[in-house]
Structure 1
Amino acid sequence: MTGELMSKDKDKVLPALRVRDFRLFWISQIISLSGTWMQHVAIGWLVYSITKSPFYLGLVMTFLSAPIMMFTLFGGIFADRHSKRNIIIATQLLSIIPAFLLGLLTQLHIMEIRYVFILVSFIGLLNAFDIPARQSFFVEMVGKGKLLNAIALNSAAFNAARIIGPFVGGIIIARFNLQACFYINSFSFLPAVIALYIIRDRGVGKISGHKSVLKELSEGLLFVRQHHQILFIFITITFLSLFGIPYSSFLPVIAEDILKTGAEGLGRLAGSAGAGAFTAAMIIALKGTINRRFLYMSFSLSAASMSIFIMTFSRLEPLSLALLFMTGFGIVSFLANANNFIQQSVPDYIRGRVMSAYILVFLGMSPIGNFVIGALAEHIGTMNALRISSIVCIGISIFFIRNGRLWEEKT
């Protein structure tokens, strides 16, 4: 009897990892995403080295995210119509091309800012189809009962890579060269492709092929509008994406001009935010269901907003690292719980489209935020621009707290 109880308790710990296909997917993602985050830091350093302009830092992130804003809803339809596994395999293979070209152009000393814009736009286009398929693929692998654990573990992998990638990338840039980061990333996609080939294909979506694209788009958006709890979360995430999440695009300015810590310091800053995010994801993965979800999400959003605001006054690296840790912790705690609630509320036949709308407000709004904050930074300074955006985030937190209790009562 004791053995059976111990076995049941053991099954409750990280249950999604007990599913073979998810385990393969998760391990391969840590490798692939570490390369992606290494490249992310390298792109920021490359752009700031070429231009010495915070405006261009914001603009390059706009070019990266704009295709998501324009095409992710179509990516959701594509995910509902076709095999999600095969979509991810295709996007991972195609992602090798821009990573390799970034490395080659940098190595040949012919890199120009326009080439960066073109290549990151292609990366963004791939993400517009990759992310909705990926988000919808979790429930196919583990089922709804283990979905929160799968989302939290995916977030943990993403943010473990967010620690490893920038830290290693900063060292490589400082001690070797910039192009090595891009070449390493191009090879990092291969383990993910191999793992996906091993994972069982769940087949194509159940959506009817006779409906028009506009009809299918309207069905997904109508579902969101008719479910007030989901709509409330979407509104909150929209403003967080516009004014909170873009802070990371300006870390090269903070490392180079404010803290004077160079490329290795940039790696530490990005890695600290990743460490906070990873910690949040693992707490959710190990704990499972969050009983007082509204309170937890309110605290998380408020802590992230206040941390960004206080960081704008910091001139000490240890303090900035601690605040970035709290920022990463708060944002991921909020988003992981929001993602889980949405996925639990969505029927399978429309999941790709609703999750593509989630990606639209989560990532697709950030190009606007990056552009606005970058333009503002060009005129009033980076820290003043981030200070204003963080005050807006504090307002978002107040909005969520004042209106969220009604949402919690309904859920």
Structure 2
Amino acid sequence: MDGRLWVALKETTFRSLRHPNYRRYFAGQIVSFVGTWMQSAALMWLMYERTNDPRWPSWLLVAQIGPTLLLGAWGGALADRYPKRQLVSTTQTAFLLNALALTAVVGCGFATPVLVLALIALNGVIQAVDFPTRLAFVPDLVPKEDLINAVGLNSLVFNSARAVGPALAGVLFVVAGALVPYLPDGANAVTIGATVCFALNALSFLAVLRALRGIPEPRVHEKPGASAWAGVRYLRAHPAMGAVVLLTFALCVFGWPIITVLPAYTKLRLGLKEEAYSFLLSSLGAGALGAALTTATFGSVSRRGAFMLMGVAVCAGGMAGLGFADRAWTADGCCAAIGFGMILFLATAQSALQLAVPDEVRGRVMAIWAMTLSASAPLGHLIAGHMITEVGVGPVILGMATGIGSVALLLAGILVVRRSPRPTPQPPPSREGEQTRPLV
């Protein structure tokens, strides 16, 4: 039975792994994303612990994501003009060096909030090239019929790491706390745990670099000098794809801020510490993991609309529940629902774009997608971080739930309109003695 189940999984959920190049890339990403999420969780807690200000985690995420908004079109143009594997190798090396710098600064005690913010902003500049390039790279690793599955598996890797990485960071914080009594005076558990997380993240990029060495260079479609904004023109010419991007923007404005709300939620609403915070982040990742498996196994062109609508609805319900939750186990369940809904929508929307877009402009269209995520995230994070200080955690989360519910209603309306039968045009009545020409 187990053997038959594994064969069935290989033919459905994991069918893209039949392709050697994608299989190498998939394996490297597993290690790298775990390191990335360890660093992200450690950064958020380190900054909140150092400043005791819920706005600092928001500013960190703005510094990380904002450069993609400003430079993403340029990064997408590079992805269409130059070898993608070479670009990804360059950006991964730059990420490694940045993580080493962060390790040294925090570990040696030189880390001021402003200096850490500057290093994360530099990381964001690297991401402005890396993000659209990686999105455009995947269709070169699998045939078109396996692209939806590959996008689902990419989301599976990312969100598996999203569940595992913060949990590992939490374990490292606990171990660091246990070691503090045996260390010199002045040793701080959060600083030690964060430093180890940053160092492990730096090492994780070696797995991607090793995987990329075994992948041949994909073709380059575009000549240097082509417009970086061809992706915008494509979306204007294809309104359905443009609507997907706009709905993504709206959902992320109200959904992504949950990451920056959770540190304050953990302390102020639940009255707990970093272990509970890491479990909330892991619950988000676990829910997202379930959505990625759902997309990889059951995703198809015919189900795209239903999956996107279900994702937004589940996300809205989870966010509303979190706004009323006051126990850790209830909050964990709500976070899992939020993660499931967000990723079910985003993975389905991303695969819809990648299937529709021609090869020669894929990098630039996916750059618009990346810029959409990057524009919505800082906006949502800044608003949420400010509003927590004004009205408190609970009302902010309920406001986010209301916004996501509005997106669900809008998407439902669009799907109803698109699926409504349109009247078939009738030929004009013919005069006596004349033959009516066929319409087709």
**TM-score, normalized by length of structure 2?**
0.87
Q: 1:366 aligns with which of 370, 373, 377?
A: 377
- Describe how 1:110-121 pairs up with structure 2 within 5 A: 110-121=110-121
1:92 corresponds to which residue? 92
TM-score in terms of structure 1 length = 0.93
What is the match of residue 240 of structure 1? Answer: 251
- Over 3 Å counting, the alpha-carbon distance change for 1:407 and 1:86 in structure 2 is farther
**CA offset digits 1:343-381 (Å, max 9, x no partner):** 111000000000000111123321111111111112222
| 2:58 aligned residue | 58
Residue in 2 that maps onto 1:3:
none
Q: Deviations over 1:113-163 (max 9, x none)?
A: 101210111111111111111011111000211100000000000000001
Secondary structure of 1:340's match?
A: helix
Alpha-carbon offset, residue 29 of structure 1? 0.5
Contact 1:159-1:278 at 8 Å conserved across structures: yes
The within-5 A match list for 1:9-408 is 11-176=11-176, 177-203=193-219, 205-211=220-226, 216-289=227-300, 291-407=302-418
Contact 2:65 2:378 in 1 (8 A): yes
Tell whether the 8 Å contact from 2:80 to 2:362 is kept in structure 1 after alignment: yes
Taking a change above 3 Å as real, the CA distance of residues 174 and 346 of structure 1, as seen in their structure-2 partners, is same
Structure 1 residues without counterparts, runs of 5 or longer: 1-5
Q: Deviations over 1:87-124 (max 9, x none)?
A: 11111111012212222222222211101210111111
Query: 1-side partners of 2:418 and 2:82: how far apart?
Result: 34
Aligned amino acid, residue 401 of structure 1 = A
Distance in 2 (CA, whole Å) between partners of 1:375 and 1:11 is 48
Number of aligned residue pairs? 400
Which one-letter code corresponds to 1:268 in the other structure?
Answer: F
TM-fit CA distance, 1:9: 9.4
Question: 1:310 and 1:383 mapped to 2: Cα distance?
Answer: 10
1:384 partner letter: P
Distance in 2 (CA, whole Å) between partners of 1:260 and 1:97 is 37
1:69 aligned partner, one-letter code: L
Report the residue type matching 1:199 in the other structure: I
Whole-angstrom CA distance in 1 between matches of 2:17 and 2:286: 21
Contact 2:260 2:381 in 1 (8 A): yes
User: 1:173·1:181 contact (CA, 8 Å) conserved in 2?
Assistant: no
Q: 1:258–1:174: structure 2 CA closer, same or farther, 3 Å change rule? A: farther
TM-aligned CA deviation for residue 265 of structure 1: 1.1
C-alpha distance in 2, partners of 1:362/1:244?
11
The structure whose residues are more often helix, as a share, is 1
> Structure 1 counterpart of 2:318, which letter?
S
Q: How many Å apart are 1:51 and its aligned residue?
A: 1.1
CA 1:209–1:54: 2 relative to 1, 3 Å: same
* Residue-by-residue CA offset, 1:291-311 (whole Å, 9 max, x unaligned): 433222212101102211220
One-letter identity of the residue aligned with 2:38: M
CA shift digits 1:69-104 (9 cap, x unpaired) = 111111100000011111111111110122122222
Deviation at 1:175, TM superposition (A): 2.0
Q: Which amino acid aligns with 2:136?
A: S
Displacement, 1:10?
5.7
Which whole-Å deviations, capped at 9, do the CAs of 1:183-228 have from their partners, x for residues lacking one?
111111001101001111114x2212244xxxx1332101101111
1:209 and 1:382, CA in 2 relative to 1: closer, same or farther beyond 3 A?
Answer: same
**Alignment deviations for residues 15-73 of structure 1 (CA, whole Å, 9 cap, x no partner):** 21100010111111010000000000001001101111111221211111110111111
Q: Quick one: distance in 2 between partners of 1:12 and 1:152?
A: 11
Contact map agreement 1:294 1:405 (CA 8 A) in 2: no
Larger mean CA deviation between 18-27 and 375-384 belongs to 375-384
Do the aligned partners of 1:255 and 1:261 also contact (CA within 8 Å) in 2? yes
Cα offset for 1:409? 6.8
Check the 8 A contact 2:91/2:126 in 1, yes or no: yes
5+ residue gaps, structure 2, are: 1-5, 177-192, 422-440
CA contact (8 A) 2:42 2:197 kept: yes
Rate the CA distance shift 1:10–1:265 in 2: closer, same or farther, 3 A. Answer: closer
Q: CA separation of 1:159/1:409 partners in 2, compared to 1, >3 Å: closer, same or farther?
A: farther
Distance 2:409 2:275 in 1: 36
C-alpha separation in 2, matches of 1:9 and 1:182 = 35
- One-letter identity of the residue aligned with 1:154: N
| Bigger shift: residues 371-380 or 148-157 | 371-380
Q: Does the 8 Å contact 1:294/1:408 carry over to 2?
A: no
Q: Is the 8 A contact 2:13 2:149 kept in 1?
A: no
Distance 1:122 1:113 in 2: 14
Determine the C-alpha separation between the residues in 1 that align with 2:76 and 2:259: 26
Change (3 A) 1:86 1:402: same
CA positional deviation for 1:384: 2.0
